[in-house]
Structure 1
Amino acid sequence: MRKNFALALSVLLVAVASCSFTNKSFETDDKDKLLLDLIAYVLERGHYEPKDINDDFSANVFEDFIDIIDPTKRYFLEADILEFEKYKFQIDDQIKNTDISFFNVVHKKLMERMNDAKGIYKEVLAKPFDYSKDEIIDIKYDGQAFASSRNDLKERWRKQLKYATLGTYDTKLTNENKKKEDNTSEKVLSVKEVEIAAREATLSTLDEFFDFVDDLERKDWFVQYINTIVDEFDPHTFYFAPDDKDKFDISMSGKFEGIGARLQKRPEGAKIVEIISGGPVWRDQKLEVGDEIIKVGQNGETPVDIVGMRLDDAIKMIKGPKGTVVDLTVRKVDGSMEIISITRDVVELEESYAKSASIIKENQKFGLINLPKFYVDFDDYSERNAATDVAKEVERLKQAGIEGLVLDLRDNGGGSLKTVVEMAGLFIKDGPVVQVRSSGKGKEVYDDKDERIQWDGPLVILVNELSASASEILAAAMQDYKRAVVIGSKQTFGKGTVQNVIPLDNIVRSNEHGDLGAIKLTTQKFYRINGGSTQLEGVKSDVVVPDKYSYIDLGERDQENPLAWDKISAADYQPWDGYIDYEQTIANSEKRMAASPQIKLIEENAKWLKQQQDETVVSLNYAVYKKKEQKVKEQSDYFKSLSDYDSKLTFESLKYEQELFTKDPVLREKRDRWHKDLAKDVYVEEAVNVLQDLKISNIKNNTKLASVNKG
């Protein structure tokens, strides 16, 4: 695949250099136009499914760009939008003619409105908020109209700032009441003084926010415009400005300093979509996927509101040198608000590597391999990769005497395709693993050609909504072969596309404009060996069990502009003939899960979390707000009993790892904590139950086969 794409890309680069840019002249100050021309050309020639840049495309860019730069509708007026409307169906023509008039008009007006907003928020915060008044705010800004006048806009700011200040007011008032109860010698602030202090804190936050915005350059806003155009093609195609390319420069064996979490832009803040194993967030266990960061403070200083801020700018505030502290104001998945302080550290990617443990149940021993991603060292494949590491762990577990194996792919966002094919080969004799198709071309089938099987015993694969891309390919292949029972969410993430990063400097024959950045481009699509795409639909588990994210929008289908699901012809393959009573094993597991009190509580929690996320109307009356917060806390505390679960299973590190503990106490601490978490994991417990059923089924069928052969 790499060789074929490299050939196609080289043809593309030659075509671009010889045809597209030799006949266009750009002045030295027209770097933006050159960039737009480059991006449009690469998208048209290189994207897996290029879109027609027409009036519909233009309208989508128009709506999305306005939404990106003013998501909470607190800058533009209705009259501004009407002024912009004349460009709504012209953007497609502007892209083709390298015209950036629409961007220029919107950017100029945005700068004016942001400057005006500085006066508005100061006016609003100069007056006290009346928290006894019955009024509400809807924090779902989609679909809300823009303000019709400056007075309407000021009223919108008033409600937004009152809402932003309400949490601070509550925290400060609670602290003052605690001083009273404790009868301390500290001065107790009056309610009036607390209200003033809360407003001052919000004022300081807004001052810092606008200082931050003032430092942004025109080129920073233009990158947002370019990415609005790019995002119309699919959610994984993305333009990286020169300063952002370092995001792709960290190798699998590298390190970086920060909190160890991947964030996604949301109108309400920055949503945590991945927690990196071994990082500060992972160690502290205070944040989880789905939490939204709405304010960022530095080591006790007044936090800055990041709602409406560009994601890259918010990330720059959150990242920082090792040992420094960042204070995050977070809206938890359950709707509660919390300030969480994280000490930044070097995020070791070592915890992204495969690790294993033996599971003891009564007199039986099983194995578990956890694989957070399909990693590879692209400079030297033989140095370290996921397939080789998993093979080593399988061999070690076999030597330890396991009778069944669990491969845990939960939260695995994918990685190298080559490692998937090799890893699948550990569990099947030979045959196809995945099919790949490039735009306008026939399919390619990637086979395991090695007839050796490293593990031919019972196999269970664990997945969830965050299992994506390469992990979906492996789970799908094992499911199609009926080689493993897949246990997990209703379906996995549903990312069935392949991306390649193209440096734009490589395309321009002579470039006087400096580094032009790079584009991550969707170039291919994955298909299962049964012909179905993993795009959108993901992999549907054999045994569906709920988790806390069951009803929350997390998958590819919930992204903007995903590519569609489709199907191609199936590859030639034979299902596994390991004499496993596959269907009965699945039926037994479904019956156990349906009767499990822990699973019922997880289902109840998942529905409650969805309900909390759907409630976007918030009372600005303090008494009502406080009552709701108390109710949320009580319900949240009720579901904390989920972590008290005990599977009664015992988990142990393998001998080679135990020998490392004397020299590496940190490794011991990591493994002890991992084993403790596994013991509370109802999904791992059920995986072991399924392995037992598969083992019994194997014994029965092998006994039958032996007697038939004997006769």
Structure 2
Amino acid sequence: MNRIVDFMKRNYKIILLITALSAVLWSFVPSSKNEDPEKDKVLLELLTLVLEKGHYSPIAMDDEFSKNVYSKYLTAIDPTKRFFLQSDMDEFSKYETSIDDMIKNKDLTFFDLTNARLLKRIDESKDIYKSILSKPLDFSTNQMINVDYEKQSYAKSKAELTDRWVKQLKLSVLPSIIDKEKIEASKKEKDSIYVVKTFKEIEIESRENSLKSLNEYFDFIEKELDRNDWFSIFINSIVERFDPHTFYFSPDDKDKFDISMSGKFEGIGARLQKKNDAVEVSELISGGPAWRGKKLEAGDLIIKVAQGKEEPLDIAGMRLDDVVKKIKGPKGTEVRLTVKKVDGTLEVISIIRDEVETEETFAKSSIIDKNGEKYGIIYLPKFYISFDNKDERDAFKDVAIEIEKLKKQNIKGLIVDLRGNGGGSLETVVNMTGLFIEQGPVVQVKSPNRRPEILSDKDSKVQWTGPLVVMVDNFSASASEIFAAAIQDYKRGIVIGSKHTYGKGTVQNVIDLNQFVRGSSYGDLGALKTTTQKFYRINGGSTQREGVLSDVVLPDRYAFIDMGERDEKEALPWDKIEQASYKPVFSGFEPIIAKSKSRIDANEQFKLITENAKWIFERKDINEYSLNIDNFKKEIESSEEQLKKFKAISKFHNKLLFTSLPEETVVLDKDDLLKEKRQRWHEDMEKDVYIDEGVNILSDLKVYNEVKPVVQNKKKKLVRVD
């Protein structure tokens, strides 16, 4: 341990408080990399020490831990089981219960063996796919493919592995053939003398495209990935066993993380997360090129990536960072994404990369007019704050300003829209909650082996005392859950949206690993994001795993699918502590909630959304596909036919009128881009059935507040908070 400075309790430097749930596409400048096994040993030693002393709930590094790391790591480097053979697994298996000891002894034998074998198998796979794609693929047989790779065994021989490659390549080429046939038919329809390409020509073209994509992918592996990249996968298979939000940042990853936190980057403006062997779009950044294009959606799975007019690259099995590198690029260049929509259909989406502006990550508001009655809505994408300069903008101050502007318009109720808000600053959410309640506890934060610390709003001023609705969804997490829970516990407003929020009740710190090493000759060691605290509602319950349960549940496409923290195997458990001392603002909203539920049950739009959600749920476990082209076409046609009835969902109009505040209108007249963004936002809200019900609830609350006594806040003055 002579290389490492003693780790003193509570003595590590807190770099940033973060709650980011997914990766952001950013610009990336590669740096030179030096491979050094001795550095890897130091890194293992250091990470073990920091996790044992700094993690909220460190777990024992024993045989069970070893088995889980073993499984997670091998799945991470060969998720589709297209490289390793069963004989490889038999050889690796002797290390299955020894990884814990090897970590403690800084023994890299297991990693070195598996990494060398993986690179060997990857190199052998080039001969396999090139041989398969050198001749026509037969789509007339009744072959089937199962893409539930997790339940599959490894191939027992090279012949069996080759057969898997054949099926996988057929599945990759089939959609391309069908798309090209449709294009040919469309050309013929427009031009009667056009000579349609034969099936043989289309098959050759599609097969050659797949060959080119695979060549690019394997070339990428060979030229762009080195030992450091593979070792990072191994490291994260270890640290992620502690919980899903503990993650090791290599030096390159840390640089990208810093860029993402600066709030300005060039790319498509989407947050991504790994989903089995594919990459899922978890969120679109408002104002970014993907958001403006209106085609890419949260929940889409990215299957292939193409640069401009080049042929698409199959990204199955690629690491998230590698996919990001392919999608990133300078402003003005084109990237084409082949995505699988939530309903199972495939679509190619072209996006011109651009600079994603931070302005669209800030709070924004609008006036809602319903039958001559004015209401307000504030959309908050995250609880932002500048950790370096507290005088800069933060969500608390911005929301306070927006409330004042809306109050001048004599609004009768307010919606705070936290859908898709992944969290942010703990300090900010405490202050923001104080805009709606009298001084009092907001959240409880607990460090290991310590009594909970109660974080309170100490300002007796109340910014908004009128009717309040908080909108959430499955992706509202962390700080969003703190706010929604506090509003719910105080009975200050009504929480509406998905059945439950994400369920992230933990706090992470990013720890610079270099600070623990004296006179290091190993260069930058990177950083560790690790869970150091849990937070609890003022009623004592945790939001961990469970999330915040909406007072009014609004049907959505994920209504029957378990999403969020509860779906993570390594997530910390739910628990409860003693509740804080607080008094509810109102006695309860039971009549309002019951009235809303009756409206929802009778609403045809919600009925259709529920039916769509059931259809999606029924299809989510479909893992078998026919490789017979006729049967494959029938499956596509059947899905498209069923989807027709759900198109009415996107045609809904709530008949509400949305207008910008007078102060903003002056700015919009001078800024065409911002004006376009606001118009787009208003158009989206006009199609939003959830906002429609939110306004209905505000209308009911307006009457309710007039007759229902307030438990506290009777003498509150409406004072601006700057």
Same fold (TM over 0.5): yes
Q: Is the 1:267–1:307 contact (alpha carbons within 8 Å) kept by the matching residues of 2?
A: no
The amino acid of 2:598's aligned partner reads K
CA–CA distance in structure 2, aligned partners of residues 664 and 253 of structure 1: 23
Matched, 1:666 2:673: yes
Paired residues for 1:403-422 under 5 Å:
403-422=412-431
Secondary structure of residue in 2 paired with 1:263: strand
Aligned pair partner of 2:54 in 46, 51, 70: 46
Distance 1:452 1:8, change over 3 A: farther
Aligned pair partner of 1:620 in 611, 614, 627: 627
Matched, 1:344 2:350: no
Larger displacement relative to structure 2 (537-546 or 679-688): 679-688
In structure 2, runs of 5+ residues without a counterpart are 1-6, 15-34, 713-722
Distance 1:701 1:112, change over 3 A: closer
Deviation per CA, 1:531-584, whole angstroms, max 9, x where unpaired?
A: 00010000000011111122334311112411110001000001114xx65111
Distance 1:253 1:510, change over 3 A: closer
Larger displacement relative to structure 2 (687-696 or 72-81): 687-696
Q: Is the 1:462–1:488 contact (alpha carbons within 8 Å) kept by the matching residues of 2?
A: yes
Matched, 1:545 2:543: no
CA–CA distance in structure 1, aligned partners of residues 13 and 371 of structure 2: 61
Matched, 1:505 2:514: yes
Count of residues paired in the alignment = 685
Aligned pair partner of 1:70 in 71, 78, 86: 78
Partner of residue 276, structure 2? 267
Aligned pair partner of 2:605 in 598, 607, 612: 598
Q: CA deviation at 1:379?
A: 1.1
CA–CA distance in structure 2, aligned partners of residues 68 and 46 of structure 1: 26
Larger displacement relative to structure 2 (642-651 or 46-55): 642-651
Matched, 1:646 2:659: no
Distance 1:173 1:499, change over 3 A: same
Partner of residue 91, structure 1? 99
CA–CA distance in structure 2, aligned partners of residues 104 and 395 of structure 1: 61
Secondary structure of residue in 1 paired with 2:530: strand
Matched, 1:679 2:693: no
Matched, 1:245 2:245: no
Partner of residue 315, structure 1? 324
Q: Is the 1:72–1:141 contact (alpha carbons within 8 Å) kept by the matching residues of 2?
A: yes
Secondary structure of residue in 1 paired with 2:280: strand
CA–CA distance in structure 1, aligned partners of residues 494 and 430 of structure 2: 19
CA–CA distance in structure 2, aligned partners of residues 253 and 310 of structure 1: 24
Paired residues for 1:7-22 under 5 Å:
8-10=9-11
Aligned pair partner of 2:372 in 346, 349, 363: 363
The amino acid of 1:493's aligned partner reads Y
Taking structure 2 as the reference length, the TM-score comes to: 0.92
Matched, 1:306 2:307: no
The amino acid of 1:106's aligned partner reads T
Partner of residue 696, structure 1? 703
Secondary structure of residue in 1 paired with 2:219: helix
Partner of residue 305, structure 2? 296
Larger displacement relative to structure 2 (267-276 or 85-94): 267-276
Q: CA deviation at 1:641?
A: 1.1
The amino acid of 2:478's aligned partner reads S
Using the aligned pairs only, state the percent identity: 54
Distance 1:279 1:8, change over 3 A: farther
Aligned pair partner of 2:203 in 195, 200, 203: 195
Deviation per CA, 1:84-112, whole angstroms, max 9, x where unpaired?
A: 00000000000111111110110111111
Partner of residue 123, structure 2? 115
Q: Is the 2:13–2:511 contact (alpha carbons within 8 Å) kept by the matching residues of 1?
A: no
Taking structure 1 as the reference length, the TM-score comes to: 0.94
Distance 1:86 1:388, change over 3 A: same
In structure 1, runs of 5+ residues without a counterpart are 1-5, 14-26, 706-711
Aligned pair partner of 1:434 in 440, 443, 447: 443
Q: CA deviation at 1:250?
A: 3.1
Q: Is the 2:13–2:512 contact (alpha carbons within 8 Å) kept by the matching residues of 1?
A: no
Partner of residue 581, structure 2? 572
Secondary structure of residue in 1 paired with 2:430: helix
The amino acid of 2:487's aligned partner reads M
The amino acid of 1:367's aligned partner reads G
The amino acid of 1:508's aligned partner reads V
CA–CA distance in structure 2, aligned partners of residues 390 and 644 of structure 1: 31
Partner of residue 586, structure 1? 593
Secondary structure of residue in 2 paired with 1:647: coil
Deviation per CA, 1:125-157, whole angstroms, max 9, x where unpaired?
A: 122112121111111111100000000000000
Larger displacement relative to structure 2 (248-257 or 557-566): 248-257
Matched, 1:276 2:277: no
CA–CA distance in structure 2, aligned partners of residues 561 and 369 of structure 1: 35
Partner of residue 631, structure 1? 638
Q: Is the 2:188–2:194 contact (alpha carbons within 8 Å) kept by the matching residues of 1?
A: no
Partner of residue 24, structure 1? none
Distance 1:384 1:285, change over 3 A: same
Distance 1:681 1:302, change over 3 A: same
Aligned pair partner of 1:453 in 459, 462, 468: 462
Q: Is the 2:605–2:649 contact (alpha carbons within 8 Å) kept by the matching residues of 1?
A: yes
Distance 1:447 1:128, change over 3 A: same
CA–CA distance in structure 1, aligned partners of residues 86 and 588 of structure 2: 65
Q: Is the 1:242–1:515 contact (alpha carbons within 8 Å) kept by the matching residues of 2?
A: yes
Partner of residue 526, structure 2? 517
Q: Is the 1:237–1:521 contact (alpha carbons within 8 Å) kept by the matching residues of 2?
A: yes
Secondary structure of residue in 2 paired with 1:321: coil
Deviation per CA, 1:305-358, whole angstroms, max 9, x where unpaired?
A: 110111111110001000000011111111001111110000112111100111
Q: Is the 1:138–1:616 contact (alpha carbons within 8 Å) kept by the matching residues of 2?
A: yes
Q: Is the 1:252–1:375 contact (alpha carbons within 8 Å) kept by the matching residues of 2?
A: no
Aligned pair partner of 2:411 in 397, 402, 408: 402
Q: CA deviation at 1:702?
A: 5.7
The amino acid of 1:369's aligned partner reads I
CA–CA distance in structure 1, aligned partners of residues 54 and 529 of structure 2: 11
CA–CA distance in structure 2, aligned partners of residues 156 and 689 of structure 1: 55
Deviation per CA, 1:140-187, whole angstroms, max 9, x where unpaired?
A: 111100000000000000000010111111112222333333445555
Q: CA deviation at 1:665?
A: 1.7
CA–CA distance in structure 1, aligned partners of residues 402 and 433 of structure 2: 14
Q: CA deviation at 1:610?
A: 2.1
Partner of residue 494, structure 2? 485
Q: CA deviation at 1:594?
A: 1.1
